[in-house]
A and B are shown apart, each in its own frame.
Chain A
């Protein structure tokens, strides 16, 4: 059966992408706001829950502390998930790019 977090939700997707560099929670939220051109602004409870969840599944891990805040980064497993999602999305994108003509022929 498919993993329960797959396909990745927009929130999870952005967090994994943001955490390709080590960041604490709030900094990840700020980075995601930039990455998404201001369309994805995570709220506190959502961010906390998502980090807990991703950490539990071993897709991100704490790599240190900055002051009292925990700093997280993506794991190898998390990167493998992103790779999978990338090829899934690339396939969907390829369907967007008018392959209807192929079907007709």
Chain B
């Protein structure tokens, strides 16, 4: 599992450079590779929800260019494309389209970030991080036992906040790239 689309792309291409070909990526993010004599490259795109026909057009054009669809969906997701290395290995050939790609990543990150922010709010509005009643008024070893017992649960409850920070971070990264490509 990766938390950064560009690092994921880099890692995948490192594997392909070692003489592998990706055959499948499962829903849980488990990659399956197969040994090959040829060299392959992988590119990751992001697309928002596409109507069935549009998604077909989208895949059709990539396939015409020799890309094989490894994983993705029309429901707003990262799209994984692989092809044989033949020096036409990019999916974006101009500044404008690369910029639009980062813009899509920005709206993806901010959308999910907002969602987790909402989760966090609902989770914490009635209570603090620790749920045990009177935890903070316990004394001595009883407090420590209860505290240690509760901490994993508290961390679990912290998950949405971690996700907010993570998506905030990827929003910022995409934004940096986006502004670097700004028309001069």
Contact = CB atoms under 8 A, between A and B. Distances in A.
B90 interface: yes
B93 A42 contact: yes
B11 interface: no
Interface in A33-60: 40-52
B93 A49 contact: no
B91 interface: yes
B100 interface: yes
A46 B61 contact: no
Given A11-B97, A26-B64, A69-B64, A48 B90 contact: no
A91 interface: no
B88 interface: yes
A51 B62 CA distance: 13
B64 A45 contact: no
B65 A49 contact: no
A21 B24 CA distance: 39
Contacts of B96: 9, 11, 46
B91 A43 contact: yes
- How big is the B interface, by class? 20 to 34
Interface residues of A, number: 23
Contacts of B64: 24-26, 44, 69
A68 interface: yes
Interface string B61-79: 1101101000000000000
A41 B93 contact: yes
Given A11-B97, A49-B97, A50-B97, A43 B61 contact: no
A26 B81 CA distance: 17
Contacts of A42: 93-94
A70 interface: yes
A10 interface: yes
B19 interface: no
B58 A46 contact: no
Interface of B: 43, 45, 54, 56-58, 60-62, 64-65, 67, 81, 88, 90-94, 96-97, 100-101
Interface of A: 9-11, 24-26, 29, 40-52, 68-70
Given A10-B94, A25-B60, A26-B64, 6 more contacts: A9-B96, A25-B64, A40-B93, A43-B93, A44-B81, A45-B45
